[in-house]
Amino acid sequence: MTQTIPATMRRVALAARPKGAVTPDCFRIEELPMPQPGPGQFLVRVIWLSLDPYMRGRMDESKSYAKGVEIGETMQGGAVGEVIASNHPGFAVGEFVVGPFGWATHALSDGEGVRKLDPARAPISTALGVLGMPGHTAWVGLNDIGQPRAGETLVVGAATGAVGQVVGQLAKARGLRAVGVAGGPDKCRYAVEELGFDACIDHRAAPDAKALRAQLAEACPDGVDIYYENVGGKTLEAVIPLMNVHGRIPVCGMISWYDLGGLGMGEVPGPDRLPRVWRTILVQRLKVQGFIIFDHNDRFAPFEEEVSAMIRDGRLKYRETIAEGLDAAPEAFIAMLKGGNLGKQLVRVSDDPTRGVKA
Amino acid sequence: MTQTIPATMRRVALAARPKGAVTPDCFRIEELPMPQPGPGQFLVRVIWLSLDPYMRGRMDESKSYAKGVEIGETMQGGAVGEVIASNHPGFAVGEFVVGPFGWATHALSDGEGVRKLDPARAPISTALGVLGMPGHTAWVGLNDIGQPRAGETLVVGAATGAVGQVVGQLAKARGLRAVGVAGGPDKCRYAVEELGFDACIDHRAAPDAKALRAQLAEACPDGVDIYYENVGGKTLEAVIPLMNVHGRIPVCGMISWYDLGGLGMGEVPGPDRLPRVWRTILVQRLKVQGFIIFDHNDRFAPFEEEVSAMIRDGRLKYRETIAEGLDAAPEAFIAMLKGGNLGKQLVRVSDDPTRGVKA
């Protein structure tokens, strides 16, 4: 399958670090000469770009678990693409791959962190969502950290997001009561009617943590055994007093706090919520554990086996929100950080021949 | 060994709940007729009363892991005593016991939660300290929750307190670098010169968390792998940014925050320290786990076997701070909450015949 390779490529570079919320002028779209694969390299045409909340952290200067993006560099990101030229013995032209190709129409790779995809097994875009990093994150956090038991109650924020939608459905499959928190009535309806959550609370309709807590308490009559933490903020504050003895809190994100910046963040106005959270950890003997999915590659195979089977037989549903074209990536990313997506946020950078859909 | 049983006993009752710091008028000392053991009961002459930070929580009305003390009731507390009258087939007059006898000169018991002591094995007062609840707490928190590995660095607050003194010495015995935080130069000198800590920082000499952090950073050149949490407050704030990837924080107390009251505590003035702590839990993949020693009774035997052997051959040292007479208990308790004790805080309620020391 030989393709005509264009003379230029486009990419989204970090133009400026955000001060608080991300704005469009943090990004710059650039056209560059198309790179040529050197020895041991291959060239990928990016089809699907993944937009994920963790990328917000990479835009800050401060220390995080991964090196941030430097000003002028291509925004980091996972993507699915097709090999269109190759000097690598392991990757042939026409093969579909997922890897860290960044916010760009094309990327060179030496195969590091790249995995081949079989379009017959699942839609290739799912390698960025339910069968990729977000699904893996949901699965590891729920199972390995959350250690769920049938009959327990789980709460997850961003319930219709890329991670939350999988957490809730996996929890239901394991016999838990699953209660979501999401922004807006449409998402909440979708969580309950389509994803099978037992209840979903609209945090936008709750004026403060106390009001949210009252609704959560009603939806969780036996308390909360697992709070799957990916939002922080008001939801965390609402859930903490509802935690049962020996509850677990896997922490994989805190999107509501990302605009505070990195670990070098300045002072956040009070009240100080730490003493109460800390005291609850003690009195209720909670386990709070942060995790980064890249530490858990050894758990990818069992995750993929289980979840791909659930997708094939319809036990696990998912949604994708698709932005069209690389130039739409900044705007879609900003919208996603504000909760604009339902399910996995993707950018269709170019045609997906396995879908037969034009971009 | 028949003893003359006095006609009256004395006890310390909770007179009023503290508003913030505990004050002497929270307590009332009362004289009551000596109770007589009914069927299946025995009467204990209290010798050593234990004073522990957890008792502060029992004085509050709000929910905690154990039922609080009601106004007018005897203050709860572990104590060591001698059986002086018995209608219980398992407990004979003259036997030494440790149990929940409370702040009193005498107590009735049906044997619930009571354990016999062998004075030949260790001084009976140690059943309230290094070989009792505080030692057990140190051992479980360090080993089962902290999962220490040789070469790692541990930080513990209240380093010369009943728990901290054991945590530091156990950590050293396991090949860790042990760094303490304590109040005042005498305690810090004692921690290093007598207990064998590698370093001990005086938090009273540090004007704020930032200054304390700078000193801790110097004492922990390889970062902190285990922060054994029993103090909260400034020490917690200082340590958090020093935590290494995959660090562990066993949480067994937070004495610096107890005067904030219980879980129903009102708002604590800002800044809000929660976002930064929460983000560090994520980025550094920390495990923060609260524990209450009463959940870990199955680990008492291995704890006692190891630590009693360490005491016998001199590998584990300990100190006791002794207040004389039951009437001194309130004052000693208030002083302990402010850090007035070195090692285990005890009250000598009556003669300990195994020491041959007059009260």
pLDDT of residue B67: 78
CB spacing of B279 vs A265 below 8 angstroms: yes
Which candidate, A68, A81, A82, A87, places its Cα nearest to that of A262? A68
C-alpha to C-alpha distance for B4 and B2, rounded to whole angstroms = 7
Minimum CA–CA partner of A280 in chain B = B263
Is the predicted pLDDT of residue A124 greater than 70, yes or no? yes
> A359 pLDDT band (50/70/90 cuts)?
very low
Is the predicted pLDDT of residue B1 greater than 70, yes or no? no
User: Where does residue A239 fall: left (phi above 0), alpha (psi -120 to 50 degrees), or beta otherwise?
Assistant: alpha
CB spacing of B232 vs A276 below 8 angstroms: no
pLDDT of residue B356: 60
Is the predicted pLDDT of residue A358 greater than 50, yes or no? no
Residues A270-277: what's their mean pLDDT?
A: 92
Residues B296-318: what's their mean pLDDT?
A: 95
Domain boundaries, chain B: 8-129+318-348, 133-295
Helix spans in chain B (H):
54-58, 133-140, 164-173, 185-193, 209-219, 233-239, 274-283, 300-312, 329-337
Is the predicted pLDDT of residue A132 greater than 50, yes or no? yes
pLDDT of residue B260: 79
Is the predicted pLDDT of residue A268 greater than 70, yes or no? yes
- Give the model confidence (pLDDT) of B342-355 as tens digits: 999 999 999 999 98
- Give the model confidence (pLDDT) of A212-239 as tens digits: 999 999 999 999 999 999 999 999 999 9
pLDDT of residue A239: 98
Is the predicted pLDDT of residue B167 greater than 90, yes or no? yes
Residues B141-151: what's their mean pLDDT?
A: 98
pLDDT of residue B262: 59
pLDDT of residue B65: 61
Is the predicted pLDDT of residue A99 greater than 50, yes or no? yes
**Count of pairs with CB atoms under 8 A, one residue in A, one in B:** 153
pLDDT of residue A65: 61
- The percent of residues in chain A predicted with pLDDT above 70, rounded, is 95
A141 vs B: CB within 8 A: no
- Give the model confidence (pLDDT) of B3-23 as tens digits: 689 999 999 999 999 998 999
CB spacing of A257 vs B271 below 8 angstroms: no
C-alpha to C-alpha distance for B311 and B139, rounded to whole angstroms = 14
Residues A7-31: what's their mean pLDDT?
A: 96
Residues A324-340: what's their mean pLDDT?
A: 96
A260 vs B: CB within 8 A: yes
B133-295 CATH choice from 3.30.360.10, 2.60.40.10, 3.40.50.720, 3.30.365.10: 3.40.50.720
CB spacing of A283 vs B245 below 8 angstroms: no
CB spacing of B270 vs A272 below 8 angstroms: yes
pLDDT of residue A357: 47
Average pLDDT, rounded, for chain B: 94
Minimum CA–CA partner of A279 in chain B = B263
Cα dihedral B306→B311→B315→B316 (10° resolution): 90
Residues A325-333: what's their mean pLDDT?
A: 98
Residues of A in contact with B66 (CB under 8 A): none
pLDDT of residue B355: 85
Q: Give the distance from residue A195's alpha carbon to the nearest chain B alpha carbon, in angstroms.
A: 27
Enumerate residues 6+ apart whose C-beta is below 8 A from B233: B254, B256, B257
> A260 pLDDT band (50/70/90 cuts)?
confident
What is the CATH number assigned to the segment(s) B8-129+318-348? 3.90.180.10
Q: Give the distance from residue B59's alpha carbon to the nearest chain A alpha carbon, in angstroms.
A: 15
Residues of A in contact with B262 (CB under 8 A): 279
> A355 pLDDT band (50/70/90 cuts)?
confident
Residues of B in contact with A292 (CB under 8 A): 282-283, 285
Is the distance from CB of A139 to CB of A303 less than 8 angstroms? yes
- The percent of residues in chain B predicted with pLDDT above 70, rounded, is 95
Q: Give the distance from residue A241's alpha carbon to the nearest chain B alpha carbon, in angstroms.
A: 8
Task: Kindly report which listed range (A63-67, A351-355, B268-272, B306-310) carries the lowest average pLDDT score.
Answer: A63-67
Q: How many residues does chain A have?
A: 359
Residue B148, both tokens: 């220490």
Cα dihedral A87→A90→A94→A100 (10° resolution): -90
Residues A255-281: what's their mean pLDDT?
A: 83
Residues of B in contact with A65 (CB under 8 A): 245, 283-285
Is the predicted pLDDT of residue B295 greater than 70, yes or no? yes
Reported ipTM: 0.92
CB spacing of B278 vs A64 below 8 angstroms: no
Is the distance from CB of B209 to CB of B237 less than 8 angstroms? yes
CB spacing of A271 vs B270 below 8 angstroms: yes
Q: Give the distance from residue A273's alpha carbon to the nearest chain B alpha carbon, in angstroms.
A: 6
Is the predicted pLDDT of residue B266 greater than 80, yes or no? no
Is the predicted pLDDT of residue B89 greater than 90, yes or no? yes
- Give the model confidence (pLDDT) of B33-47 as tens digits: 999 999 999 999 999
pLDDT of residue A256: 87
Residues B195-210: what's their mean pLDDT?
A: 97
A257 vs B: CB within 8 A: yes
Same fold for the domain at B8-129+318-348 and the one at B133-295? no
Residues A346-353: what's their mean pLDDT?
A: 97
CB spacing of B274 vs A279 below 8 angstroms: no
pLDDT of residue B2: 57
Residues of A in contact with B267 (CB under 8 A): 270-271
Q: Radius of gyration (Cα) for chain A, nearest Å?
A: 21
CB spacing of A290 vs B284 below 8 angstroms: yes
The DSSP call for residue B144 is I
A285 vs B: CB within 8 A: yes
First to last CA, chain B: 20
pLDDT of residue A217: 98
- Give the model confidence (pLDDT) of B226-249 as tens digits: 999 999 999 999 999 999 999 999
B208 vs A: CB within 8 A: no
Which candidate, A266, A346, A337, places its Cα nearest to that of A80? A346
What is the b/e burial string over A41-72, where b = at least 16 CB atoms within 10 angstroms of the residue's CB? Answer: bbbbbbbbbbbbbbbbbbbbeeebeeebbeee
Return the higher-pLDDT residue of A221 and B2.
A221
> A4 pLDDT band (50/70/90 cuts)?
confident
CB spacing of A290 vs B291 below 8 angstroms: no
Q: Give the distance from residue A45's alpha carbon to the nearest chain B alpha carbon, in angstroms.
A: 32
